[in-house]
Amino acid sequence: MTRFALIALALSLNPTEAARADSVAREVVELDATAQLALMADGKRSSHDLVVEYLSRINALDRGGPKLNAVIELNPDALKLAQARDRERAEGRCGVLCGLPILIKDNIDVAGPMATSAGSLALSDHHARKNAPLVERLLAAGVVILGKTNLSEWANFRSSQSSSGWSSRGGQTRNPHVLDRSPCGSSSGSGAAMAARLSAATIGTETDGSIICPAAINGVVGMKPTVGWIAQAGIIPISSSQDSAGPITASVRDARLLLGVMAARKELVALANSAALRGKRFGIARQAMGFNAAVDAEFAQAVQLLRQAGAEVIDVEIPNYGKYRDAEFLLLKYEFKAGLNEYLSRTDARVAVKSLSDLIAFNQRNQARVMPWFGQETLLAANALGDLNSVKYLTASRSAKALAGAKGALKSLRDKRLDALIAPSNAPAWRIDWVNGDNYSGGDASIAAVPGYPAITVPMGFLHQLPLGISFIGGPNSDAALLQLAESFEQVRSARRMPTYRASIEQ
Residues with catalytic roles: 105, 186, 210
SS3 state of residue 219: coil
Q: In Å, how far from its chain's centre is CA 137? A: 18
**Environment class of residue 90 by beta-carbon count within 10 Å: exposed (0-12), middle (13-18) or buried (19+)?**
exposed
Give the CA count within 13 Å in the CB-facing half-sphere of 36: 34
Question: Alpha-carbon distance 27 to 32, whole Å?
Answer: 11
SS3 state of residue 456: strand
**Environment class of residue 354 by beta-carbon count within 10 Å: exposed (0-12), middle (13-18) or buried (19+)?**
middle
- State the Cα torsion 321-327-332-333 to the nearest 10°: 150
- Which of the 8 DSSP states describes residue 358? H
Handedness of CA 253, 477, 195, 213 (dihedral sign): positive
- Alpha-helix residue ranges (DSSP H) falling in 91-149: 133-140
Handedness of CA 247, 251, 254, 260 (dihedral sign): positive
Question: Alpha-carbon distance 178 to 500, whole Å?
Answer: 8
Task: Give me the count of residues in the chain.
Answer: 507
Nearest of 7, 427, 429 to residue 176 by alpha carbon: 429
